[in-house]
Every structure is written in structure tokens, then in C-alpha cells.
Structure 1
């Protein structure tokens, strides 16, 4: 070679006989001929050497270095870098190729900009010769130019998968030699051996530029790339990717000393490290048989702390969370002494779930536990937090940051057990439960509705829950039939507990109650949110029409806030339309003493729910002496053995009306049911909730709270599953399709509704929006 090379092409090989000729030919076809090709044979045992020597005999630009012992491609590249004569270095693997103008274009860009690093695009081809466009796009350069510390932050942004792939860059040779001096000379990396080099090169580089041209040809699934993992031994081999991150740590310490603020450097390193862990656990989901998951996780946990495994999955491959939930070691309730309890939900509001949580906090404090309440979102109303409990509102942005914040809360507050109320209302709860489990803290999850609710809603929540409930120590439901359902779904650690009594129930239970039978007009009351899908308030109007047809003198008061597409005004308008204004009053929400006065003014509580989990309103009505007429919900604990309730089949509004008429006509019957209601309410307030929660936390609930499924349970579940599937489908089919314009108007309507709570003068605007919406 008469002139020194401008670029050294380093080509590490090991048993690449099948492809090395193509790789070398692609190098020799370069349009700029001022290059050298340094082939470093990493102790091949096939004919790779002979192929190289054949090319070497024809072209003096090809050099061959032989390593006596296999040291991985890391050592092969190192030897090539140390022997390079060119100012810049390109890399090519033995099973890939360079584009004809790779040297010319990358070198010209480097010289024109005095760059330490030049990035370029990659052509990715699968075994069938088809372009893998998604991967090709991910490998394309993002930044045109970066300088100073921005080089590193631009190439290794926090929270994204770390990209190694040395063959995507042209490097200044001196930069690569500096990097290798920062790493052990005898380092062997069988997996992801390029990450330490590009990571440290990006940290030391002062100038990066890129060109969009695809100068490298990567052949997917040649060599070791992209292959399945069939057993634990192969998984152990792929775990070597973690070493690629760990070996950087000592060099990182010296780099931090050279920076005024090394925070971003450290964060990027931790992000890259998590990315490598995610690279490994991704094989659990993609390739490995499920019967190997447990053994592979156990092996991984010998190398990586469990919290890091969870955080890696949350950040980079959430699809692996079900594997972690079902295959990781389950923590039994009661494994550790419990002194500190964390209660959590999405936000604290005046709603039912928050009411349950706050009642639990009261009983746990009463039992002597330290209580911390955590809201995952802002805009909570912490006024109801009992004295002695600590309230925390999480601040992190993005799930990975919030899961890390969750871990910090568990450590800082020395949490022993978690009770999570949000598992029906968020699909992020498994990440928090798995992180807690990784810290040795069990999570107890609360399901606040009947198990068949997702079938009625026609969504995949049943499958989602079944896939992830293994992350919990215990799943708490609200009825024995729910226990049967979840056990039949494979969730063995399932129990049921009654909801704690509401303040209204507690205060009323101490009173002497004596109702008088209706004389003349019978007063009816319904209360709840105006949720037509779940609580069916319009069914009340069908019953009212039948009562009027039967010439019953009645007054029905409907209490509750609007819900989604149904406002108080909507229902009131429907009452007017049906000519029922004389008999039905829609009064909106009432609370506290105002609600109690409305209950006490009534003779009967009527409920039209199609599905409920516990329905505290039943006990709240009965404790004030009201008999109940309702649609059948036989699994409800408050309904069972309750002689103060009359139930008719679902959707039978005529049946409801006739039962109401029977009470209006029979004073003795009314008084008998009223007394039975009071007794039933006494039973619902007789639970020692503090004791039950202690037993739950200690894993010592009596067997009666976790019954085994029976054939009759299975029959009931099947019958109700068919009912909800058919009803849910019918409801969806009957709902008219709205135009895009109507959907926009509906959104405007909801925004206006929220606005008039603060600015009542906006109410006329809402009314106009409603008229437009109806016209559409």
C-alpha cells in the first residue's frame, strides 16, 4: 500500500465461512479506495481463515490478525482498533456488508465537519430478502449534528432503549483508543459487546454529525442475531448483555469527575443498564416456554436486584409484566410482621371507592397500625383523611418515574403491606404491585364490583386481571360467588370481605327506628349516580308508568349527580316527556343531613341496578327502616338472608311496580318488611372490621371467607355470564352510532357541564349545546 489509508475497516470474524466472502467483496467495492481492511479472526474453527487468505493474496489492503483464544467480538474489535492506520474506523461484521460508497460518504462528512462520530442509516434485510422497515427506521440517525455534552445525551436519551451497533458509525481512531484504555484489556463480552464502546465514545466525543444515506447492510438472523432462546442455558448466555452495562461502571466514575454536573451522565447510564436488563427479560415473553420462566427469573435475580428487573420491564417491555406476575415468587400475607400499612387509589374523592379506603384507614388506625394513604394522581380531596394517617400525592411524570417514586415511598415509610383499591380502574397497578413485591412488600388488591362486570362492559379486563393477579398476595372480592369466579379462573388466593359501613350507616345504627306504614300516598326514594348503563335510572320511569296505570298514589324522589352522558336535566326532561312530573322528582345530589331527611321522608327504597359489587345504599336505606324493592342481584352479601328485600328479575319494571303497589295496599306487610330491614342492617353493622382487617393482613382470615367453588356456583356464574354477555351486546347494538360532529358536541357538553359548576352563568351555553346535540 503506497499511500496511507484514510479509513480502517475493522472486521471481527468467528466461524463466518458462509458469509465472509460477501463481506470482503463489499469492502473491496468501495468507491474511495484509500482504506484498509483489518480482519481479526477470533479463533475460528471453520474455513474462515482460508477464505480471508484467498482475498488477501489478491489485494494488499486486506490484513489478517489471528487471536489464539476466543475473546468475543469485543477483543476482535480491540485488536483491529489498535492496529488501525487510518484516521477513522468503520466496523463491519462478518455476516454483513458495506454499501459501495460507505467509506467515501462517511469520511467526506467527517473531514468537512471535523467530527469525532459520523452516524448513517442502515439497510436491514430478513432471511427472505425482505426489508425490515421497522428496525431499519429505528436504526436511522435522529440528530443531524450534536456538540459537547449534547453528543452523549442525544445518542443515549434517558428512558429509551440503548442502541449499540458500532457499525452505524464512523469513528475517529484516536477516540476509540482512548475508550479502550478506560476498559479492562482482558474484557470478554459474548453478548452486546459493542455497547461499552459506543457509550463511552459518545461520552467523550466533542462533535457528532450524521447523513441519512444507508451505508451499512445488516442481515437479520444471520449469525447469532435474532434467534430464539430454547432453554435455561441459552438464557444464561443472553444474560451476558447485562455485563455490557456493568463493565462501564468503573469508567463512568472517572468520566463523572470531568463534568461539572454528572447527573445526566449517571441517569443515562442507569437508563442504558435498564435497557440491557430489558433486553434479557424480553426473551421470557418472546421465546421461552412458560415452564422455564420461573427458573430463568431465579437465575436473573442472582445477577440483578429484583426492583431493577421490574423497573426495566416497566420502562422498556411492559408486555413482560404478566410473566413476572405469574412466575415470580409470591409473598404470602402474614409472612412478615405488619406495623405500617399503605392504602392507595387513583384519587381521593367523595365517591364510593374513596369512602371505602377512608373507612379502612379509620379501622386500621383503630387497630394500632401506622397508615399512609397514597393518591396516584393530583386533584384529590384529602379532607376526609382521618387524624393520624399520612397523605401523599404522587408527583412523578410517566410510569417509570412513578414506579420509582412508589419504591421510594415504600422504603421511606417502611411499608409492610399495601392495600390497593385501584385494580379495577387502572391498568398500571401491576407495575406498582410487582415493584412492592420486589421490595418484599405484599400487595392486597380490592375488586369493587362483581367479577362478571367486564363481560357486561364487553372489554378484556377479565383476561387482564387473570394475567396479573398473581402479583398480589391476596385478591379481595365482595361476595362468595366472586371468590368462586376468580378461583375458577385460577386465582387461588381470593377472599371476600364486606365493605366497611359508611358514616351514614354507623351513625344510623345507634338510633331507634320505627317506620309507619304509608297512609295514602306512598313515598319512594332512589339514590345513586345517574349511570344509565349500570344503575338504570330510566327503568324507574317504566315502573312509574305502571304504578300510574295501577292507580297507585305515589311520589318518587330521584337523588344523585349526573353521570357521563346523562345529566339531572336529561332525566328531568324525560320525566316531563312521559307526563310523570306529578309523580317523579329528579332533585340532583344530596348529602349529609339533607340526604337523611329525604330517606326518612320515604317509605320504600327502590333500586334498579343491573350489576353491583356490594351496594351500601341497601344497608343505608334499611338501617332507616325502609324496605327495599329491587332487581335481583343474588350474589350481593347485603341481599342474602335479608327478609327486608323483595327482588324481581332483571329488567322487570312492571314487577317492580306491582311489588311497590303491594306494599301500598298492605300495612302489615310493610311493617313486617320494615322491621326485617332494620334487623338486616344491624347484621351489616355487626362485623368487627378492625379484627377482620388484622386477620386479612396476617393471612389468618377464617376459611368461611374463602370458600371453594361448588357446582351450583359454576352454574350461577355461567347463567349470569350469558345474561351479561347478551345484555351488554344488546345495549351496544341499540346505541345509535354518533357522527364525528356529534361526538365533538358531546365533548363540548361535558366541558360545559364542568364549567357551570364554577361559573353558573354559563348554564345557558350548556342548554344550547344540549339542543344541538339532540338535533344531531
Structure 2
């Protein structure tokens, strides 16, 4: 197919239970001129068989790439390299999209566009984060994320492929937390505007097993990712964005992940020990912003144990 408008990249690893439904949702688009690139990252189940069967019956242009297991970032990067579309879209192998996903995203004019999503956990659906504006400069959009006024997931965006390829933007395979938001925030820094749709077209499926403690304290590695991103912005001459990372985004990431560990009953002393090892107390103290959140941070830094006991008591009272 010539002049492909959109490439949908789907990394797959042992997703036999879900990949059929995911592909059905992709193939059922009310949009023409797109390709599907599935990168099987060394699956050991019958994912590849399901993929080939589904796609071989479709009239949509597609590629199925099989590689030895090397992680989701390498799989997405391979998909980027194989893509031919004017724009790129990412869909995870256990999620699904509505039939108007691409038509809501594609306008052929802006460098980026964004739709809304909901998290589906059993029968429960989360509340979408609607945005009042219909067009936002990329710089303002980045600032909103760094202030966590508009947190988003990287697969909510459609990316102009030229920006990704001309600037050699890729997912970092050295990390398992935060590599996707780093990809998006780097890409956005080279663009002009983001078109916003409040249509919910992406369903992120939260499986029971995905809530299990799996990677221990690697969640804190997002701090290093944001520090690297601050350096990246500094080199671009965007010191205001670099400052926002240090004084807002990093402290909020530390505090949010710390509370995640507490909520999931990680040992208090282990959490504190890991935070000291990574010098996260110093990085927390650099927060500048909302006075209510600043008070929480100060309370914790003053006496972590008392903060933890108070937090635990409050948590238990609403469980």
C-alpha cells in the first residue's frame, strides 16, 4: 500500500490470551490507509500462530516480525524502524481500541494528537481525564505533564513519524519503568502542537497479575530517567522544562512511588533504606509548587516514621 498514513505498532510477548481481541479491535477501524506492524518478542506460547491467522485473513497491510526476546522497548523500536506511515500509533498487546481510534487521532496537520483512555479492571472503568482545550502547544503540553496537571500515557498519542526518525528518538531498553513517558516527552519537544480529542477510544486492561509486586524497587528508576530528560532539555536550551523536572516532576514521582510501596505493604525500613541509597530525600526536598503537597513532603522529611504511621492509619480507615 502506497502513502500509508498511519502505522500501528504492537509489541507482543506471550499474549495468546489477549492478542486476538486486540487485533480484532485494530482491524475494525473506520479509517483507511494504515498498516499494522506486530513485533513478536520471542513468545513461547501460541501468540504468533494467532497473529498470523488473524492478519492473513485481513485486507489491511501488515508485517509480522519475530525476534528473540529482548524486551518491549526493543520490540517497539523494531516496529518504528519497519514502519512506513506518516504517523505512528502504539497499542499494547492486551489492550483494545474502539473503531474510531485512528479517525479521532488523525488530522494530517498537527505533529501530535491525543485521545482519552480508561483503565478497565474487571467491570470497573476509571474516569477519563478530559481536557478543555482542543489545541495545545507542545511546550505547554509538556509543562502540564511535568506539573502533573495532565498526566498521560504514551499510547494516547499519535506521533508524526518524521519527528521520531529525524531526531532518532527511541525507547530506552535499559529501563522498565518510565521509558515510555521519556519517549513521548522527548518527541513532544520537537513538535509544535497537540490536537486534543476527548473521545475515549483506548481501553487499558488492568489484569490481576499486573498488580502483583514484580520488579521491586525498580519503580524508582523513573527518577534517573527524568534526570536524564532534564539534561536533554538543557541541551535544547529549554531550561524552564529542566527546572520543572527537578522542582516538580521528580519529587512527585518519588512521593507517588513511595506511597505505592506503602500501599502494597512493602517493608517500611526497606523502602526508607532504598530511598536513602538513591538520595531521594535530597531530591524530594527540592519540590517547589502546591503548598498542600509541599506540606506533605515536609511532614515526611521531618519524621518519616510518624508520616508512615499516620498514612497507614488513614489508609486502613477507608479500606
Band of TM-score, shorter chain: 0.7 to 0.9
Answering whether residue 259 of structure 2 is matched by residue 282 of structure 1, we say yes
The 1:81/1:17 distance shift into structure 2, 3 A limit, reads: same
Of the candidates 97, 120, 123, which is equivalent to residue 125 of structure 1?
Answer: 120
Q: How does 1:389-538 map to 2 (within 5 A)?
A: 398-400=291-293, 431-432=297-298, 434-436=300-302, 467=309
Ranges in structure 2 where 5+ consecutive residues have no aligned partner: 311-319
* CA–CA distance in structure 2, aligned partners of residues 25 and 188 of structure 1: 32
The 1:50/1:275 distance shift into structure 2, 3 A limit, reads: farther
* Deviation (angstroms), 1:311: 6.9
Q: Secondary structure at the match of 2:70?
A: coil
Q: Secondary structure at the match of 1:210?
A: strand
The 1:163/1:465 distance shift into structure 2, 3 A limit, reads: closer
Q: Deviations over 1:417-462 (max 9, x none)?
A: xxxxxxxxxxx6xx53542568xxxxxxxxxxxxxxxxxxxxxxxx
* CA–CA distance in structure 1, aligned partners of residues 111 and 220 of structure 2: 27
Name 1:27's counterpart in structure 2: 26
Ranges in structure 1 where 5+ consecutive residues have no aligned partner: 316-395, 404-427, 439-463, 469-776
* CA–CA distance in structure 2, aligned partners of residues 251 and 131 of structure 1: 32
Name 2:65's counterpart in structure 1: 65
* CA–CA distance in structure 2, aligned partners of residues 67 and 465 of structure 1: 48
* Deviation (angstroms), 1:17: 0.9
Answering whether residue 240 of structure 2 is matched by residue 263 of structure 1, we say yes
Q: Secondary structure at the match of 2:125?
A: coil
* Deviation (angstroms), 1:264: 3.7
The 1:269/1:171 distance shift into structure 2, 3 A limit, reads: farther
* Deviation (angstroms), 1:95: 0.7
* CA RMSD in angstroms, aligned pairs only: 3.1
The 1:238/1:279 distance shift into structure 2, 3 A limit, reads: farther
Q: Secondary structure at the match of 1:247?
A: helix
Q: Secondary structure at the match of 2:189?
A: helix
* Deviation (angstroms), 1:298: 1.5
Of the candidates 225, 231, 243, which is equivalent to residue 253 of structure 1?
Answer: 231
Q: Secondary structure at the match of 1:10?
A: strand
Name 2:159's counterpart in structure 1: 171
Of the candidates 117, 128, 134, which is equivalent to residue 137 of structure 1?
Answer: 128
Aligned residues: 309
The 1:161/1:304 distance shift into structure 2, 3 A limit, reads: farther
Q: Is contact 1:121-1:141 (8 Å) kept?
A: no
* Deviation (angstroms), 1:310: 6.7
* CA–CA distance in structure 1, aligned partners of residues 224 and 79 of structure 2: 24
Answering whether residue 168 of structure 2 is matched by residue 191 of structure 1, we say no
The 1:162/1:12 distance shift into structure 2, 3 A limit, reads: farther
- TM-score scaled by length of structure 2: 0.83
* Deviation (angstroms), 1:266: 2.5
Q: Secondary structure at the match of 2:32?
A: coil
Q: Deviations over 1:542-592 (max 9, x none)?
A: xxxxxxxxxxxxxxxxxxxxxxxxxxxxxxxxxxxxxxxxxxxxxxxxxxx
Name 2:143's counterpart in structure 1: 153
The 1:64/1:397 distance shift into structure 2, 3 A limit, reads: closer
* CA–CA distance in structure 2, aligned partners of residues 120 and 217 of structure 1: 11
Of the candidates 184, 187, 196, which is equivalent to residue 201 of structure 1?
Answer: 187
Name 1:241's counterpart in structure 2: 219
* CA–CA distance in structure 1, aligned partners of residues 229 and 307 of structure 2: 44
Answering whether residue 199 of structure 2 is matched by residue 213 of structure 1, we say yes
* Deviation (angstroms), 1:24: 0.3
* Deviation (angstroms), 1:172: 0.8
Q: Deviations over 1:627-663 (max 9, x none)?
A: xxxxxxxxxxxxxxxxxxxxxxxxxxxxxxxxxxxxx
Q: Deviations over 1:249-298 (max 9, x none)?
A: 44543432333x61244213553323332342122332115xx2212332
Answering whether residue 48 of structure 2 is matched by residue 49 of structure 1, we say yes
Q: Deviations over 1:41-97 (max 9, x none)?
A: 2222222112112123223623112231322x2222221112211101111111111
The 1:85/1:201 distance shift into structure 2, 3 A limit, reads: same
Task: After the TM superposition, list the runs of 4 or more consecutive aligned residues in structure 1 that deviate by more than 4 angstroms.
Answer: 309-312
Q: How does 1:649-668 map to 2 (within 5 A)?
A: none
The 1:309/1:249 distance shift into structure 2, 3 A limit, reads: closer
Name 2:111's counterpart in structure 1: 116
